[in-house]
């Protein structure tokens, strides 16, 4: 049975596109049944539309406008997000460039089924701007490698959880910040598709 995926994305959607391409090319026995974005300008929205995938734009602004404190707004937003995702009946939820920390109001609805992609190795550079932090460490301390990981998201810790796969990306001679980002994104696309293929096949 083809695995059903819901993808949460905040940005341009290149990782979403890698999943769509792999599915269409029969390299991945999975179907993206829903794409959720939190930003109106997210490129992932257009990628979903072009592929004929149901797309939902769910901004947090209306939840903040109610006058609740930020923590309460986050929980009510995540509860609404969970309702949208649950309605699509996915087997796995993939955070592919999702830039919002999920709370238990979402995670408890999908225990052991939320997968995150992060452009750093386990224990290195959690949170946003991981590539910038790796580049800074390279230029100031001589760090010779960074990497990419895919992991499960069991709770509200930032970029922590059981690691499904990781891959080292070494700094190349003459590396620039821009060339590093391009190479990391290439590895992200490959690793994410490989992990999802294993999950779809029941390997991990």
What residues are annotated to the active site?
118
126, two tokens: 């959690």
Q: Is 123 left (phi over 0), alpha (psi -120 to 50) or beta?
A: left
Instruction: For the sheet with 145-152, list strands across it.
Output: 55-57, 30-37, 3-8, 92-95, 114-118, 145-152, 163-170
* HEC letters along the chain: CCEEEEEECCCCCHHHHHHHHHHHCCCCCEEEEEEEECCCCCHHHHHHHHCCCCEEECCCHHHHCCCCCHHHHHHHHHHHHHHHHHHCCCCEEEECCCCCCCCHHHHCCCCCCEEEEECCCCCCCCCCCHHHHHHHHHHHHCCCEEEEEEEECCCCCCCCCCEEEEEEEECCCCCCHHHHHHHHHHHHHHHHHHHHHHHHHCCC
């Amino acid at each position: 049975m083809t695995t059903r995926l819901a993808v949460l994305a905040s940005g341009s959607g290149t990782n979403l596109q890698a999943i769509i391409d792999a599915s269409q090319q029969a390299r991945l026995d999975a179907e993206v049944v829903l794409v959720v974005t939190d930003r109106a300008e997210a490129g992932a929205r257009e990628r979903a539309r072009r592929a004929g995938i149901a797309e939902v734009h769910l901004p947090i602004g209306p939840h903040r406008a109610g006058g609740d404190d930020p923590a309460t707004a986050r929980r009510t937003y995540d509860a609404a997000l969970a309702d949208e995702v649950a309605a699509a009946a996915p087997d796995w939820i993939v955070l592919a460039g999702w830039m919002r920390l999920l709370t238990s109001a979402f995670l408890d609805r999908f225990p052991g089924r939320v997968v995150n992609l992060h452009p750093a190795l386990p224990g290195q550079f959690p949170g946003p701007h991981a590539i910038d932090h790796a580049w800074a460490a390279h230029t100031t301390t001589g760090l010779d490698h960074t990497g990419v990981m895919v992991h499960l998201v069991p709770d509200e810790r930032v970029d922590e959880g059981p690691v499904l796969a990781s891959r080292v990306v070494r700094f190349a001679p003459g590396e620039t910040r821009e060339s590093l980002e391009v190479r990391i994104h290439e590895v992200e696309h490959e690793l994410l598709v490989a992990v999802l293929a294993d999950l779809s096949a029941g390997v991990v």
